[in-house]
Structure formats: structure tokens, C-alpha cells
Amino acid sequence: MHQQSTRTLQDVRTTLTPDEVIAAATTFFARRSGIYSAFLEKQGPGWASYRGQGGEEIALGAQRAVDGATRVTGSSYMFDQQVARFLSTLPPAPPLAQQPVLAAGDAAREVTGVTP
């Protein structure tokens, strides 16, 4: 098993815009104490990477969803706890509406208009 196999990708949905998420992350990671601080290294529309102690990298992406919320994903090899802390500071978006679960016969009627 290689060292990257336990790497995690964390994600949340928020009411902030992608630009607001990146700005909040830049402030959040720069204010961490000592070995847990990280500073903006690269940035583009809807994404940023941060470099921390020992060259550790944090990668974040933020993209507007169809429902108006922003989906934010973050990943880091060793700073997973700091990424989770940052994501927990974002105002949550309302939950997605659940689609009704259809029985097999209902699904057939909905697609074909014919009762099985």
C-alpha cells in the first residue's frame, strides 16, 4: 500500500460564493498557530493551494451548484484536521430536496405511462 492511500477528500455545501470561500480559507490558514499555518501558493478561479510546514500542501476547490449553493472540496496529506476545521466554519447550505423513492411498478408507469 502506498503512502497516499489514506488521503481523504472532504467536502461541504455552503451559502458563500466560491470567491468568498477562497478568501475565508486564505485568512483561516494564515492565522493558524505555528506548525499548522499555511499560506496561499497558487490560485485560480474557484481553487487555491496553500503551502504549510515542511512543504505540506492543502488544496481547495469551490464551485457553484445548480441549486445556488457552493460545493467546497478540500484535501491535504497531513493537514486533514485543519481542513475539517476550516470547512466547519463555513455557513451550511440548506439540504438538497430528496427525490421520492419509487417502487418498481411506479417507475415503469412513470417512464412508459403503462401499468405493468
Output the furthest CA–CA distance in the chain (Å, rounded). Answer: 66
CB 88 within 8 A of CB 14: no
Model confidence pLDDT, tens digit, residues 50-104 = 999 889 999 999 999 989 999 999 999 889 999 999 999 999 999 887 656 666 5
Give the span between the Cα atoms of 29 and 31, in whole angstroms.
Answer: 5
pLDDT of 28 > 50? The answer is yes
> How is the chain split among helix, strand and coil, in percent rounded to 5?
35, 30, 35
Give the span between the Cα atoms of 31 and 33, in whole angstroms.
Answer: 6
Domains and CATH numbers, the chain: 3-89 (3.30.530.20)
- End-to-end Cα, the chain, rounded Å: 50
Angle at 88 (CA atoms; ends 82, 90), nearest 5 degrees: 115
User: Whole-model pTM above 0.85?
Assistant: no
